Structure 1
């Protein structure tokens, strides 16, 4: 039986506010599942022509799949959201660490394109306060050797390795990039760019009272270059990676409603972006932050595009130095106006599995504001030495 490929589109995307991981974080008394439930329900509330029976699958990226993030969270989210009414929605959880939700979208897109599904909610959640990186993992005795050495197991050390191998990217350059990210984020927040994409979350505060959280906790609009320069290295004595030029540990969730274009139009929904192609690449795990370069190059080649064709680039800022490397090797400058127009993870935070969907949420809104833009990229580096890139086309032109 022959079958035509379906066009895959983003109808909507949303996220929670992002909170600082730990006891001082806004989500310290909130479970990971409840963050995921908040965005799952919001997608249906924002798109009332959707019915629960419309959703063919719930695919959730989760890095640390233990305790509250275990138990096949992707299946549990619609059930926790709607009880018995959610029983008919299947679900699964996947792990590609930092690219988990971007991979969830990629897997969902493949299902829709091939005709195996018409409507999928794909997202990601990470509660790094409750479940820190590496929590309850039992690494193979040869893991460090197989990955190159023990620095591959500590993401901050992999960023220091990029500084070592490519000394043209200095501490001062990393601090400057971090400063620019914070400034762009502050400007975007003041202009209200986050309002449409953010679902308020009710939380319990340390004193037992309730509060409705509407804003990110992690941005630091008062950051200065002098403050950044004064910070001590976080991972190595005499190192260059600090708490200021790296992303903060963060709790949060984000999700994307993807559909076949034909199904979206039948339901009266407006497709925002078309999934063009995606690519994943592997590199030396000791410099995992460089992997968006080959992933992006592969995706561009698949799409028959060049970097000059790309109008918007949303790259996850795990560490300033890895972004500097990636931009340089892709032929871009650190201050290219197409890159992270509203700031990035150095300001907003990086709740691992949620970050890919967060990048999509940013790109969707930038496309909406700029109908003259045609193509955009979302890309991340991934622990253990991977990169994942998706190319999108603006359908609101």
Structure 2
């Protein structure tokens, strides 16, 4: 077998992250994806004809953009010779797009691949599966894709009737994690994200988005989700989501990730091809791993995934300069940290916030995190970073990247 080629990530970019129903809501996932793809070409000077394919990740697609990567590429001005497809590994979709691109490049199937992640949770479909069979006397059952996907992600053998929140509450009970600890972590996340905004730390990775409005277009150039005004008292006043049925419930909207809109993209290629195309590598892929666990406790799946990725890289947590663990829930992060023996206030952990503060646009999150850590590493004079995230349904992805 031919030796696998080295893989680098170039020009990871992202749009601002919008709140559910917020400033980016008028735009579809495809609209956001097209914006970031065009910016990628503009900022790098990359000839779109040099791109073999675009892998598009999206968690809540519609048939307005089938084979999402291909449609977004065509709308962004890529030639018809640029192939594309769509993937869904839920919360890990964006990172999986990068890893799929890496495997194509490593094996020589492709030389240059763009990984794209996009999500408009504000526009997630409301759907029916009954319409083609006629309308029953009781009418059609409409499903909210956001809620339904969280209930069905474990299939018939591993039901998750209370969705991701119910899974988070199980971890709270398993690990004995208090409401106070969760709220304190959420506050830390917001403070770090707001500090990053105020210092301009996100500037190089952000692509402004023009949104149509009644009084003309509005340019959105900063994340909408971080809250500068949040406090422990404000977080403590929020009611637990499952509080009516569980008096011990602790998971609130404030200590959970947001439902958001955004897109992100990067170029995946070899160091040699990057040099030929005038691209500056930002990161080098060192290793990665995927793991599965009980869908009811999916939040701690990053533990085996990260452990395996680190083992394959021949390093440990002490060797890492940045640890990017997506914040699906504060309780889920705290459970993982307990298993790893990492302190919740470790400055290497999500130095600029994560899902609780920046937001969690499902299909885009993996590449959003990649764009952030690509700029964090040199800013911190670091060399190695871990990116990992839990995935609804009982999975997790983890990847080790080195500063290129």
TM-score range for the pair, normalised by the shorter chain length: over 0.9
- Report runs of 4+ in structure 1 exceeding 3 Å deviation: 135-145
Report how far residue 54 of structure 1 moved. Answer: 1.0
Q: Does 1:368 align with 2:365?
A: no
Q: Does 1:102 align with 2:112?
A: no
CA distance in 1, matches of 2:157, 2:195: 44
* SS at structure 1 position matched to 2:400: strand
1:388 aligned residue (391, 397, 400): 397
1:81 aligned residue (62, 76, 80): 76
1:273 aligned residue (280, 283, 288): 283
Q: Does 1:150 align with 2:161?
A: yes
Partner of 1:63: 59
**1:139–1:360 CA distance, 2 compared to 1 (3 A):** closer
CA distance in 1, matches of 2:198, 2:24: 23
Report how far residue 209 of structure 1 moved. Answer: 2.8
Partner of 1:21: 20
**Which structure 2 segments of 5+ residues have no match?**
126-143
CA distance in 2, matches of 1:118, 1:19: 33
Partner of 1:39: 36
Alignment of 1:121-136 (within 5 A): 121-131=114-124, 134=145
CA distance in 1, matches of 2:160, 2:371: 36
1:193 aligned residue (178, 191, 201): 201
Coordinate RMSD, CA, aligned: 1.9
Partner of 1:3: 2
1:294 aligned residue (289, 298, 304): 304
Partner of 1:255: 265
Partner of 2:67: 72
**1:216–1:331 CA distance, 2 compared to 1 (3 A):** same
Report how far residue 140 of structure 1 moved. Answer: 11
Q: Does 1:224 align with 2:245?
A: no
CA distance in 2, matches of 1:254, 1:155: 24
Partner of 2:140: none
* SS at structure 2 position matched to 1:113: helix
Report how far residue 268 of structure 1 moved. Answer: 2.8
The farther-off stretch of 169-178 and 227-236 is: 227-236
- Please say if residues 153 and 160 of structure 2, whose CA atoms lie closer than 8 Å, have aligned partners that are also in contact: no
- Please say if residues 293 and 326 of structure 1, whose CA atoms lie closer than 8 Å, have aligned partners that are also in contact: yes
- Please say if residues 12 and 258 of structure 1, whose CA atoms lie closer than 8 Å, have aligned partners that are also in contact: no
* SS at structure 1 position matched to 2:113: strand
**1:139–1:388 CA distance, 2 compared to 1 (3 A):** closer
Alignment of 1:259-338 (within 5 A): 259-338=269-348
Q: Deviations over 1:90-144 (max 9, x none)?
A: 0000000010010010111111111111111102111111106735969999966
- Please say if residues 17 and 198 of structure 1, whose CA atoms lie closer than 8 Å, have aligned partners that are also in contact: yes
Report how far residue 198 of structure 1 moved. Answer: 0.8
The TM-score normalised by the length of structure 2 is: 0.91
CA distance in 1, matches of 2:376, 2:152: 46
Partner of 1:52: 48
* SS at structure 2 position matched to 1:196: helix
* SS at structure 1 position matched to 2:55: strand
CA distance in 2, matches of 1:140, 1:246: 17
* SS at structure 1 position matched to 2:223: coil
- The alignment of Structure 1 onto Structure 2 pairs a total of residues equal to 383
CA distance in 2, matches of 1:198, 1:361: 9
Q: Deviations over 1:323-363 (max 9, x none)?
A: 01111211201001110001111111100010000110011
- Please say if residues 151 and 159 of structure 2, whose CA atoms lie closer than 8 Å, have aligned partners that are also in contact: no
- Please say if residues 61 and 124 of structure 2, whose CA atoms lie closer than 8 Å, have aligned partners that are also in contact: no
CA distance in 1, matches of 2:371, 2:342: 23
Q: Does 1:215 align with 2:222?
A: yes
* SS at structure 2 position matched to 1:348: coil
Q: Does 1:172 align with 2:180?
A: yes
CA distance in 1, matches of 2:160, 2:323: 32
Report how far residue 218 of structure 1 moved. Answer: 0.9
**Which structure 1 segments of 5+ residues have no match?**
none
Report how far residue 367 of structure 1 moved. Answer: 1.6
